[in-house]
Structures are given as C-alpha cells and as structure tokens.
Structure 1
Amino acid sequence: MPQTSRRGLLFGTAAVSAGALLTACTSNDPKEKDAPAQSGAPAADDKPGKPVTIGFAGPQADHGWLNAINEQARSRAKKYSEVTLETTEGSNDTAAQIGQVKTLINKKVDVLVVLPADGKALTQVGLEAMRAGIPVINLDRVFASPQAYRCWVGGDNYGMGLNAGTYIGEQLKDRKSAKVVELAGIDNLELTKQRSKGFADALKNYPNIELVARQAAEFTVESGQAKMAQLLQAQKKFDALWNHDDDQGVGALRAIQQAGRDEFLMVGGAGAKSAMDAIKADNSVLKATVLYPPTMAASAIDLARALGQSKGVSGLSELEIPTSLTLYSAVVTKDNVDQYLPTGFN
C-alpha cells in the first residue's frame, strides 16, 4: 500500500476545552486589592465571537479512525454558531488534495485545518496558505517545514508504544520468564516505527520479558486476521500481544478465536468503540487499548476558532495559541473504560 494512503495517516486526549477569559483584572475588595493581576489575551470560550470561516481538508474515510476525524471536525464546528466550516471531499490522492486546499485558499477562508495525505508533498501548499495570510492548523501528519503551519496537533506514536509496553510489563512483571508478540502496522511508515520503538524501549525496563515475534499488518481487518494467524501458528505459547491498530485488531481477534487460544492478554491501539466494548465485556483476550484519539480534529477546530478570533487558549496565560499540541496516549482498561467510551469510534 502506498505511503500516501489515508490508512497511512493513522493513528491522544480530549479536545481543547473552552473556558473563562484570561484578562487582567483589578478589584476594590480590600481582600483582593493586592492580588497580582493576570496577564494574557482573552481566551477562547463558548460564547459566540467574531465570525470565522474555517477550511477543512481531511482524509477519505476508508478507515474507522479517519472517518472519526471528519466527524469530530464537523460536530465541533457545529457547536459554535459563529463558525462556518468549508469542507473538501476527503482524498488520499496528493494532487487532488493540493487542488482542494488551493480552492480553500482562493475562497479566502480565515483559517485552514489540513490533515495531509502526505505531509511532505503538501508542504508547499501549506506555505502558500501561510504566505497568503491564512494560518494553517496541521493535523496529525506533519508538513516538512514548520513555516508551512501555525500549529501542529497530533497524537504520540512513540507514547502509544511506550504506554502499551509499560502496561504489559506491569501485568507480567512477576512472571519468571514471559514472552510477548507484536502485531504492527505498515512497516514503512514512520508512525509504525515510532510505535515499535516506544514498545521496545518500555520492555527494556522488564528484563523478564522477551519480544519473541513481530509481524507487520496493514491496518485492515483482513490483514489483521491473516497476519495474526501466522503469528499463532509460529508461536505455540506466549503471554501478551500488542496490536498497533484496533481495526486490524478485529481480524486478529477472529484469528485468535478460530485458533481457540486464550493463554495471553491482548492490548490494542487507537481506541475503537468495538475494542472498548470488548474490554468492558471482559470476555476475550483483549484487556486494554492505547488511545490515539480522533478528538484531535475537534481540538484543531477549537484552535482554528481561537486563531480566527485572535484569542488564546483557556487555562493558559499566553497571548497566542501554542505552536504544537501532542495528545496523550491513555491506556483504557475495564477500570476506566466508561470514561473513554464516548470517544470510541466505529
């Protein structure tokens, strides 16, 4: 599968929340008279402000996570009566997406939110928008130059692997000798490499655990089932499995059930609703999933609105929004699944 596929865009948490204005204040109350004044610009809040038109160039929804990205952006924009969202038809074709972004630039939108099919290939059009005075929120797959965007918002692929490995390590730390296998994503993608590196680094803290097999899949149900079947055939017994993606995890679970294997625990990745439902039911080997939340798209809309209204972020004293926002890869288990279920995607 080519690297520009939207599946390659795959794959920490909730959207930037709204809050009160962070303005300097004074008071005639003697108790507050000597309190230091807060500095900063007005922060974005839920009250309608200046009208803002946001251009959104997102992915074609050929994967559950990518479809959720589009839905999160649309639903968040609807929350604000003064926000108009100009959307393009999602595409994993680089040339087509460049044309779509150029159309949004020509429409003179106030802010652009772009999840590029290929960050490097779309860098030039990001630069074009910035030079035209249209700030760009770069979502997930990063442009090749920081001059091509005002703010980057995305997940933590290394953190996914690190947290998955730490969770597994804690479950197996008391075993004298434990074996772990890894069902990775598309191997030539940087995100897959980062997830695997984080996982390997976490396991270094548990000398009793050995990674005995690693198999790459393609972020699809079909590939998950086929590659998991191969792993099960090659490894007659192991203690834990980390699967990089919950979509391919559906297939992996099918292969596991068909093989009648249940001697190990499984940790998923991304945060699909189906995975959370299985974790809550607690009737399979799937015991946890590590988030790479599509709520990043809602966060991007929040930040774009703040940019368009020349506001900062609630809870921060800064005059401007940050240059980057990396979302946390929380581990969802049966103990906290109810908290995260609303963020699960189909």
Structure 2
Amino acid sequence: MKGRGIAITAAAALTAALALSGCDRGGGTDLGLALSTMNNPFFVGIKEGARAEAKARGLKINITDAQNDPIQQISQMETFTSQNVKAAVINPVDSDAAVPAVGVANRADVPVISIDRGVNGGRVGSTIASDNVAGGRLAARTLAESLGGKGKVAFLEGQPGTSAARERGKGFEEGIRAYPGIEVVARQPADFDRTKGMDVMANMLQAHRDIAGVFAANDEMALGAAKALGSAAGKGVHVVAFDGTPDGIAAVRAGTLTATVAQQPKLLGRQAVDWAVKASKGEKLPAEVKVPVVLVDRKNAAEFDG
C-alpha cells in the first residue's frame, strides 16, 4: 500500500505540473511561446500572429497561458526545454520575476526572445516590443490637446514590475510636462485589468470630482474607467487609452474613448517567431526591436476595424 500511495502521489504531482504548464508535453515541438495571460485581447492578438507565422513556416509552436502567475512561466519554460524546442519566446508576467524562467532556458542552451515586455536579467537574444515611450508621449499630447492644454487629469498605470507599464508611464510623464496647464492629480496602478480600472477610477472620482481627462496605459483599464465615468466618458471627461484592441477601437468609434494608441499585436507575434528562428540558427540579433505605434481617433478608427 505504501508503494501504491507513493505512485498515486507522483501521478497527482505530474498531473498538477501539466495543469500548471497549460500545455502538451509531447515531442516534435519547434518553438515555445509563454504568454503572461490570454485573458486580454492584445495577447490573443500576439498568439494569433505567432501561430500564423509558425504555420506559414511549417513549424509546431507550443503556446501557453501563465494566467499572470510568474511561477507558471518557470514550469512552462521547463516544458519547452523538455520538448527540445529550438527557441523560446517569453512575454513576462513581471520583468524581474521572469529571470528564473529565462534561466531555465539558458541552462538548457535554448535561445530566448522576449516580447512586449523586457526581462531584467538572464540571457535574452532580443526584446521585441512596441515603442512604448513614444506611445506614452503621443497619448500625453493627444489628451492635453483634447483639453485645450489645461485641466486636471488622472493616470491609470499598468501592472507594476512590467517594462511596458514603466515605459508608457515614462513617455506620458515626459509628454505632459510640455503642457503646464495640465495637472496630474491622481495616479494609481490598475494592473492592465478592466475591472480594476473601473474600481480605481471610481475611487479617484471620490477624491477628485473635477477630473477632466484620463490616460489609461491600456484599453482594458480605459474601458473600466469609462464604465466608472458613465455618461461623462468621452464627453465631460476625455479618455485616452493604449493598445488598439477591437473593444478599444469600438469605444473610440462610439465616442466613449477619445483615442487609443494602437499597437500591432499580430505583427509582434509574427516578428517574435521570425526572431526566434533566427536565434535558433545562431544569428546575431539587435538587443531591442521597436514596433511603431499609431494614434487611433474617430477620424481614422474605421480603418482599424477587423
């Protein structure tokens, strides 16, 4: 009975590990892509782009969902190395917490590419991301101009610990300094989450009822903020977002959001696969690849449908 108990425990542990990794441990996998979450349209776009590029090249790609848990990304990278992938791509849950996951690949001599967010350690061949600093500046200018250069604004920051949140915040701060009539009266992380965006915005409005503008560092938070603002969203209060997801574009067309700084997630996904293949061949890669962003407002929103 004791031996059987050990066997059952081992089997249960293996089942739990497979559940955590969220993927198939079968062989024949060429590339691994560890996404921070798939509960966000932007990362779904990255997945679609990566999958399409891999299919076009005749490659098998294992795409996993860490559900915003950095521990799962370690487990997923272990799975990739056990599958003998040629290269791995990671979209970090947290830029610091992703270092051990990258270390797993480094020890197995599997090249690593990071996407959308950087990793603050380990050997990463290249980081492919939108130009978040430039996008933050563009958002600041758009918000300030929509307010005529004066007014009180709120800033909903992204998930602390991510390079995307830090860079968008840096760009926004740099851009808004050019408008001395704009005062940032409240700023708080809402973790790139729609529900948290709504809750944070509601709390900000309790303390600052005269907020005239909002910059949210992604569409999901902006949509949550718009819900908290109710009928004032896009009218009494201008809301500028970042991502260019289908829901964000639809809100711009409806006038709920003033604008969104659009990324190109499918292009990011395709480029990540391209760079991963190059890394697997030992090609020398640039440390960073910046993908341009574009402003979407009601004038051009129809061009971004679909």
Is TM-score (shorter-chain normalized) higher than 0.5? yes
The AA in structure 1 aligned to 2:175 is A
The answer to whether the aligner puts 1:135 opposite 2:111 as a matched pair is yes
For residues 96-115 of structure 1, the aligned pairs below 5 Å read: 96-115=72-91
- Kept in 2: contact 1:181–1:240 (CA 8 A): yes
Q: Note the C-alpha offset of 1:101.
A: 1.4
Return the structure number with greater helix share: 2
| Paired-residue identity, % | 28
- CA distance in 1 between partners of 2:87 and 2:161 (Å): 32
Match of 1:263 in 2: 236
1:85 aligned to which of 61, 66, 72: 61
Q: Note the C-alpha offset of 1:214.
A: 2.8
- Kept in 1: contact 2:33–2:90 (CA 8 A): yes
Moved over 6 A (4+): none
- CA distance in 2 between partners of 1:96 and 1:198 (Å): 31
Match of 1:301 in 2: 273
The AA in structure 2 aligned to 1:291 is A
Unmatched segments (≥5 aa) in structure 1: 1-50, 312-319
The answer to whether the aligner puts 1:227 opposite 2:200 as a matched pair is yes
- CA distance in 2 between partners of 1:263 and 1:155 (Å): 30
- Kept in 2: contact 1:59–1:70 (CA 8 A): no
- Kept in 2: contact 1:155–1:329 (CA 8 A): yes
Unmatched segments (≥5 aa) in structure 2: 1-27
The answer to whether the aligner puts 1:116 opposite 2:92 as a matched pair is yes
Offset from partner CA, 1:136-169 (integer Å, 9 cap, x none): 1122332233x51211112343333211102223
Match of 2:41 in 1: 64
Offset from partner CA, 1:12-59 (integer Å, 9 cap, x none): xxxxxxxxxxxxxxxxxxxxxxxxxxxxxxxxxxxxxxx992222223
Offset from partner CA, 1:112-136 (integer Å, 9 cap, x none): 2122334434434534534544321
Offset from partner CA, 1:303-322 (integer Å, 9 cap, x none): 223444677xxxxxxxx443
- CA distance in 2 between partners of 1:185 and 1:290 (Å): 14
Match of 1:159 in 2: 134
- CA distance in 1 between partners of 2:142 and 2:234 (Å): 21
- Kept in 1: contact 2:156–2:221 (CA 8 A): no
- CA distance in 1 between partners of 2:158 and 2:143 (Å): 19
3-state secondary structure, aligned to 1:83: coil
Match of 1:208 in 2: 181
- CA distance in 1 between partners of 2:278 and 2:285 (Å): 7
TM, length-normalised to structure 1 = 0.69
Query: Does 269-278 or 131-140 show the bigger shift?
Result: 131-140
3-state secondary structure, aligned to 1:108: coil
- CA distance in 2 between partners of 1:187 and 1:119 (Å): 9
Higher relative contact order, chain-length normalized (CA < 8 Å, sep 6+): 1
The 1:87/1:231 distance shift into structure 2, 3 A limit, reads closer
- CA distance in 2 between partners of 1:310 and 1:52 (Å): 19
Match of 1:325 in 2: 289
1:291 aligned to which of 258, 262, 273: 262
- CA distance in 1 between partners of 2:91 and 2:160 (Å): 21
How many correspondences in the alignment? 278
Query: Does 302-311 or 158-167 show the bigger shift?
Result: 302-311
Offset from partner CA, 1:271-315 (integer Å, 9 cap, x none): 221121122233x3x12011344232222012223444677xxxx
The 1:191/1:139 distance shift into structure 2, 3 A limit, reads closer
